[in-house]
């Protein structure tokens, strides 16, 4: 019996179920009611809308390339109301008007169109009516669908994934552009047909999940496809799902090395789940971890069902990655995918070879060499383990002295002599030592072996390729070293090198090569470890235009040429090989001119320039990638070319020199004339005998002009007496010497016309005349020099020829030059010649003569005019006497006296002395000596 509690729960469950059923029926009733309401509304709207026309067929489906026939039927009411007919109908497809030749009018209300559909997809076909010229009405339209009938599915195949599913796939063919349905059908027996509808988004595969798969049973499988244009069916596929199994990949559990065997690894795995009758075979592959190249164990070694395998012939101390796949060993079914990789590592072994070794040599003083021994790390494939140390053995060949060094570094430096040495190097790991690598260091005095030939270096595939021709002797290997060249023939940076096998004749530089940098590449052939002669080449991995232009200097600037010189661009700034230099220059607004110069030159002379012109010049250095300009340099050409000034100045100077030499020679030949006219001898009046003459009358001359004591012992001259005498009248001369002196005057040539000059002015108003010196008989040059002669200053208390209380000498202006001293020191100078007529007179002067004795007031015996002041009480009188050339009487000529006011209330008396005629054959110039104190003489310039 059911308990009360159970009854309660059953009753409650019934109520809940009833409530749920009521809610479900309520919703369904509501949906039906809404559908009925909507249908009624649609019918009402459709009845309200009156159609003007309709097209048959409605919504046709047309196969691609087939013809479509459609008819537009106008409504009678529309025809009557709009007063139109079928003749006014035209058709449009995709808004494009169809030509009239494709449609025709059947009657007043029907218009037919016939056209071929040449595109797939959907298109709108409309029937239109031309109501009037401006109004068009679309009366009806239909949607045309164009597509292809379904193709027959091809290549149907199936794969079984054990205990999961069976997936079949096929080729559906071209897209039909129409809604198409696919059905997957499977039949185990005629009465066991299963059909599966494919989703709309799947048309090329279908999956049947486990356990709907039947193993060990023959299955018939096909695919059917259907659309509005037709249906198609694939060929049936007959198979047993167990025969198309694709197993899961095995899972590698471990990869382990074998003790004391460095070339073997043991691989273990787990097999996938397969039917119990299923036997597998395997593919096992492996690769070095850093490589993408796979190696495979021979398939015959793994064709049996197993779970492990030993892989042999591996490299020591190398990481290997393993992968495995499996398949049914009777070749049915499919290979599984590759398993996940598993990595294992082999044990260490002795290094296969010694490290590559090289050296650099630096010669020192005292027959020593600094040797730097370098080597590279072994590749992992050659090291066979971790290298712990390197051992160097250096043996001197002559003395067999051996030195051993152990180091962990990759280089070692040592100082050796100039003898020949053998250097051995090996590497050691935990398994043992490598073979020795040998390098011979030849003696310094020994000649090098032949170098390589035709060395070249050029970029290729973004690397620097070095290529050479092997030398004639057989080599054991090659060494290529390179360094960055910072300046010409200098590599201060690190040295890089690499070893190349003897069978190679070219090699890429592996690393440490940068673009835009110049590298010096040197190749050495090795003859059983003995280096041959080096051969070097310069190269760039990539070139560019120079970083900076050259620095330009002006070496020489001329009138029509200029010499330019520029510095070579530093190697670091060249960024490529300089191919040429281009010099650009111009003047003002003229066109720029360019000259290309080879890269080996750093100077150039520009010709055909214009003188005194400003030029601008710049130099561009170029590489294969372009050029870079220098800064502009301005210069101005010269006015004159080199030698032009010399060509002008030298002839002028030579002409001037020749003229000067000719003038000097002429002056030397005519020195007597030059001395006569330029530098005449002027006697010193202080040495004249006039100072000894007495101012007496003719009695003094008759007594041989004897000397008298001065009347004034105090040294003051109170008067000057002028005495004229004829040289031929010897009766007046008592002294024999004086007679000789006067006689010598006859031999002198007198001037054509004389003028007398004296103190205060000219006598008898005569014109100027030449004068001669007693010591030189040559004619003298006329002069206009102003010479100051003595004047007598007397007190205003003096009267006529009375003795003044005091006398003062001063100078007077005259145009007559001074006379030189006579040649003999003991002779007296002659005075100026003064003439009252045309005759030549000689004048003598006598100091200490009284004014009363010399200044006579009676007329001259020859009728000469007596010059003097009209006022006899207030002035002195001067008697001027003229003596003829033929007269033998000595006659005197008194000077004329002129008064000048003075600042100290004294009367200045200026005397003009008259000379006497000496009866000379030619006219001579006379000079007036200056009356000064005794033994004093001072010439005066103009």
Domains of the chain: 53-147 (2.60.40.10), 154-244 (2.60.40.10), 251-345 (2.60.40.10), 357-441 (2.60.40.10), 453-534 (2.60.40.10), 552-636 (2.60.40.10), 672-935 (no CATH)
pLDDT band at 902 (very low <50, low <70, confident <90, very high): very low
What is the arithmetic mean of pLDDT over 763-771?
A: 35
pTM score, whole prediction: 0.49
β-sheet bridge partners, residue 230: 227
How far is it, in rounded angstroms, from Cα 217 to Cα 817? 170
pLDDT at 11 over 60: no
Of residues 411 and 747, which shows the higher confidence score?
411
Structure confidence at residue 640 (pLDDT): 83
Structure confidence at residue 834 (pLDDT): 38
Mean pLDDT over the full length of the chain: 75
Q: Is 453 left (phi over 0), alpha (psi -120 to 50) or beta?
A: beta
What is the arithmetic mean of pLDDT over 374-403?
A: 92
Cα–Cα nearest to 722, from 931, 555, 538:
931
What is the arithmetic mean of pLDDT over 214-241?
A: 91
Buried b / exposed e along 496-506 (16+ C-beta atoms within 10 A): bbbbbeeeeee
What is the number of other CB atoms lying within 10 angstroms of the CB of residue 127? 27
| Residue indicated by tokens 């054990």 | 162
Question: Is 112:101 a contact under the CB 8 Å cutoff?
Answer: no
Sequence length of the chain is 942
How would you list the strands of the sheet with 506-508, edge to edge?
Answer: 453-460, 463-469, 506-508
3-state helix, strand, coil in the chain (%, to 5): 15, 35, 50
Over the stretch 253-263, which tens digit does the pLDDT of each residue have?
A: 999 998 889 99
Over the stretch 103-122, which tens digit does the pLDDT of each residue have?
A: 888 888 889 998 888 888 88
pLDDT at 896 over 90: no
Identity of the highest mean pLDDT range in 629-638, 839-848, 873-882: 629-638
Helix (H) or strand (E) segment spanning residue 383: helix 380-383
* Beta strand residue intervals within 541-600, DSSP E: 552-557, 562-566, 580-587, 593-598
pLDDT at 772 over 50: no
Over the stretch 717-749, which tens digit does the pLDDT of each residue have?
A: 444 444 444 444 443 344 444 444 444 444 443
What is the number of other CB atoms lying within 10 angstroms of the CB of residue 795? 14
Q: Which two tokens stand for residue 2?
A: 């059911």
Burial class (CB in 10 A: 0-12, 13-18, 19+), 158: buried
pLDDT at 754 over 60: no
pLDDT at 87 over 70: yes
Burial class (CB in 10 A: 0-12, 13-18, 19+), 651: exposed
Cα–Cα nearest to 383, from 356, 354, 407, 411:
354
Question: Is 908:662 a contact under the CB 8 Å cutoff?
Answer: no
Structure confidence at residue 691 (pLDDT): 57
Structure confidence at residue 600 (pLDDT): 92
Structure confidence at residue 710 (pLDDT): 43
In 630-735, alpha helices (H): 644-669, 671-677, 699-702
Question: Is 890:916 a contact under the CB 8 Å cutoff?
Answer: yes
Question: Is 562:635 a contact under the CB 8 Å cutoff?
Answer: yes
Question: Is 196:168 a contact under the CB 8 Å cutoff?
Answer: no
Structure confidence at residue 189 (pLDDT): 78
What is the three-class DSSP state of 49?
Answer: coil
What is the arithmetic mean of pLDDT over 640-650?
A: 81
Structure confidence at residue 223 (pLDDT): 94
Helix (H) or strand (E) segment spanning residue 739: helix 736-746
Over the stretch 441-451, which tens digit does the pLDDT of each residue have?
A: 999 888 889 99
Burial class (CB in 10 A: 0-12, 13-18, 19+), 544: middle
Question: Is 407:373 a contact under the CB 8 Å cutoff?
Answer: no
How far is it, in rounded angstroms, from Cα 61 to Cα 179? 11
Q: Is 33 left (phi over 0), alpha (psi -120 to 50) or beta?
A: alpha
How far is it, in rounded angstroms, from Cα 619 to Cα 566? 8
Structure confidence at residue 928 (pLDDT): 39
CA distances from 694 to 719, 740, 834 (A): 10, 21, 20
**Beta 89-93 vs 402-407: how paired, if at all?**
unpaired
Q: Which two tokens stand for residue 420?
A: 């020949």
Question: Is 597:619 a contact under the CB 8 Å cutoff?
Answer: no
Q: Which two tokens stand for residue 787?
A: 């010479």
What is the three-class DSSP state of 217?
Answer: coil
- Please measure the distance between the N-terminal and C-terminal CA atoms of the chain and give it in whole angstroms: 184
What is the arithmetic mean of pLDDT over 4-28?
A: 56
Structure confidence at residue 61 (pLDDT): 86
Structure confidence at residue 106 (pLDDT): 87
What is the arithmetic mean of pLDDT over 202-214?
A: 88
Task: Give 55-77 as a DSSP string.
Answer: EESSS-EEETT-EEEEEEEE-HH
Task: Please report, for the chain, how many H helices and E strands are present, in that order.
Answer: 9, 58
Over the stretch 827-875, which tens digit does the pLDDT of each residue have?
A: 333 333 333 333 333 333 333 333 333 333 344 433 333 333 333 333 3
pLDDT at 686 over 90: no
The DSSP output letter for 200 is T
Of residues 877 and 9, which shows the higher confidence score?
9
pLDDT band at 432 (very low <50, low <70, confident <90, very high): very high
CA distances from 248 to 93, 284, 376, 427, 542 (A): 57, 15, 48, 48, 54
Q: What percent of the chain has pLDDT over 70?
A: 68
pLDDT at 144 over 60: yes
β-sheet bridge partners, residue 896: 912
How far is it, in rounded angstroms, from Cα 839 to Cα 564? 86
What is the arithmetic mean of pLDDT over 369-384?
A: 91
Of residues 778 and 482, which shows the higher confidence score?
482
What is the three-class DSSP state of 478?
Answer: strand
How far is it, in rounded angstroms, from Cα 246 to Cα 74? 67
pLDDT band at 143 (very low <50, low <70, confident <90, very high): confident
Over the stretch 500-537, which tens digit does the pLDDT of each residue have?
A: 999 999 999 988 899 999 999 999 999 999 999 999 99
Of residues 376 and 192, which shows the higher confidence score?
376
Cα–Cα nearest to 703, from 890, 544, 525, 505:
890
Structure confidence at residue 632 (pLDDT): 93
How far is it, in rounded angstroms, from Cα 534 to Cα 450? 9
Structure confidence at residue 334 (pLDDT): 94
What is the arithmetic mean of pLDDT over 151-162?
A: 93
């Amino acid at each position: 019996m059911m308990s009360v509690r159970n009854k309660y729960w059953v009753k409650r469950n019934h109520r809940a179920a009833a409530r749920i059923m009521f809610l479900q029926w309520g919703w369904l009733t509501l949906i039906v009611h809404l559908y009925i309401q909507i249908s009624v509304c649609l019918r009402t709207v459709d009845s309200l809308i009156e159609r003007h026309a309709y097209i048959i067929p409605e919504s046709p489906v047309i196969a691609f390339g087939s013809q479509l026939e459609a008819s537009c039927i106008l409504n009678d009411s529309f025809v009557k109301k709009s007063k139109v007919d079928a003749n006014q109908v035209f058709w449009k497809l995709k808004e494009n008007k169809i030509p009239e030749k494709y449609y025709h009018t059947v009657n007043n209300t029907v218009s037919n169109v016939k056209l071929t559909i040449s595109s797939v997809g959907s298109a709108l076909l409309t029937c239109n009516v031309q109501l009037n010229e401006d109004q068009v009405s679309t009366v009806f339209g239909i949607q045309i669908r164009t597509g292809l009938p379904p193709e027959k599915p091809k290549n149907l195949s199936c794969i079984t994934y054990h205990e999961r599913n069976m997936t079949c796939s096929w080729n559906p063919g071209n897209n039909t552009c129409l809604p198409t349905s696919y059905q997957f059908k499977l039949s185990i027996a005629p009465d066991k047909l299963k059909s599966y509808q494919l989703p709309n988004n799947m048309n090329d595969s279908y999956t049947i999940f486990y356990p709907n798969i039947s193993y060990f049973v023959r299955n018939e499988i096909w695919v059917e496809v259907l659309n509005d244009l037709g249906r198609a069916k694939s060929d049936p596929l007959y198979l047993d799902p167990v025969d198309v199994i694709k197993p899961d990949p095995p899972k590698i559990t471990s990869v382990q090395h074998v003790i004391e065997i460095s070339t073997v690894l043991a691989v273990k795995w787990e097999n996938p789940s397969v039917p119990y009758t299923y036997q597998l075979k395997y593919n096992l592959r492996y690769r070095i971890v850093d490589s993408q190249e796979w190696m495979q164990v021979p398939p015959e070694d793994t064709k049996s069902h197993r779970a492990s395998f030993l892989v042999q012939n591996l490299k020591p101390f190398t990481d290997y990655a393993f992968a495995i796949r499996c398949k049914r060993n009777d070749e049915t079914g499919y290979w599984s995918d590759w398993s996940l990789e598993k990595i294992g590592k082999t044990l260490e072994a002795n290094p296969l070879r010694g490290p590559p070794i090289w050296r650099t040599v630096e010669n020192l003083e005292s027959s020593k060499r600094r040797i730097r021994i370098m080597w590279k790390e072994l590749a992992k494939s050659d090291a066979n383990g971790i290298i712990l140390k390197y051992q160097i053995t250096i043996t001197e060949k002559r003395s067999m002295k051996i030195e051993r060094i152990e180091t962990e570094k990759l280089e070692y430096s040592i100082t050796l002599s100039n003898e020949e040495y053998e250097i051995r190097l090996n590497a050691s790991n935990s398994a043992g030592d490598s073979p020795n690598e040998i390098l011979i260091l030849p003696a310094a005095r020994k000649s090098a072996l032949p170098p390589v030939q035709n060395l070249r270096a050029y970029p290729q595939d973004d690397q620097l390729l070095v290529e050479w021709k092997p030398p004639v002797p057989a080599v054991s290997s090659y060494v290529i070293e390179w360094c960055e060249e910072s300046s010409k023939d200098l590599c201060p940076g690190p040295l890089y090198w690499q070893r190349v096998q003897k069978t190679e004749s070219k090699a890429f530089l592996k690393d440490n090569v940068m673009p835009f940098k110049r590298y010096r590449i040197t190749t050495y052939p090795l003859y059983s470890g003995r280096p041959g002669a080096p051969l070097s080449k310069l190269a760039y991995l990539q070139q560019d235009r120079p970083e900076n232009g050259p620095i330009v200097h002006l070496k020489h600037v001329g009138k029509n040429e200029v010499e330019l010189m520029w510095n070579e661009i530093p190697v670091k700034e060249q960024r490529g090989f300089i191919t040429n230099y281009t010099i650009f220059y111009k003047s003002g607004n003229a066109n720029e001119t360019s000259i290309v110069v080879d890269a080996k030159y750093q100077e150039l002379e520009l010709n055909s320039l214009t003188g005194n012109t400003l030029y601008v010049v710049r130099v561009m250095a170029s590489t294969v990638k372009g050029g870079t300009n220098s800064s502009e340099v301005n210069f101005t050409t010269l006015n004159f070319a080199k030698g032009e000034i010399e060509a002008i100045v030298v002839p002028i100077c030579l002409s001037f020199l020749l003229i000067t030499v000719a003038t000097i020679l002429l002056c030397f030949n005519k020195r007597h004339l030059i001395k006569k006219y330029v530098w005449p001898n002027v006697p010193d009046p202080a040495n004249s005998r006039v100072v000894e003459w007495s101012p007496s009358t003719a009695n003094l001359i008759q007594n041989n002009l004897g000397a008298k004591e001065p009347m004034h012992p105090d040294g003051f001259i109170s008067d000057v007496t002028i005495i004229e005498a004829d040289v031929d009248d010897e009766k007046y001369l008592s002294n024999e010497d004086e007679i000789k002196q006067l006689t010598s005057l006859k031999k002198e040539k007198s001037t054509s016309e004389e003028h007398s000059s004296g103190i205060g002015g000219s006598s008898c108003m005569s014109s100027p005349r030449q004068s001669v010196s007693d010591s030189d008989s040559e004619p003298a040059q006329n002069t206009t020099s102003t010479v100051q002669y003595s004047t007598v200053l007397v007190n205003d208390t003096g009267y006529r020829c009375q003795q003044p209380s005091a006398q003062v000498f001063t100078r007077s202006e005259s145009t007559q030059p001074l006379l030189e001293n006579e040649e003999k020191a003991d002779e007296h100078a002659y005075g100026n010649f003064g003439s009252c007529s045309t005759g030549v007179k000689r004048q003598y002067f006598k100091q200490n003569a009284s004014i009363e004795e010399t200044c006579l007031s009676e007329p001259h015996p020859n009728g000469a005019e007596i010059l003097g002041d009209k006022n006899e009480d207030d002035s002195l009188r001067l008697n001027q006497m003229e003596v003829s050339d033929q007269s033998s009487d000595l006659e005197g000529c008194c000077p004329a006296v002129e008064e000048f006011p003075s600042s100290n209330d004294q009367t200045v008396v200026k005397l003009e002395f008259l000379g006497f005629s000496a009866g000379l054959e030619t006219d001579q110039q006379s000079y007036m000596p200056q009356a000064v104190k005794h033994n004093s003489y001072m010439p005066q310039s103009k």
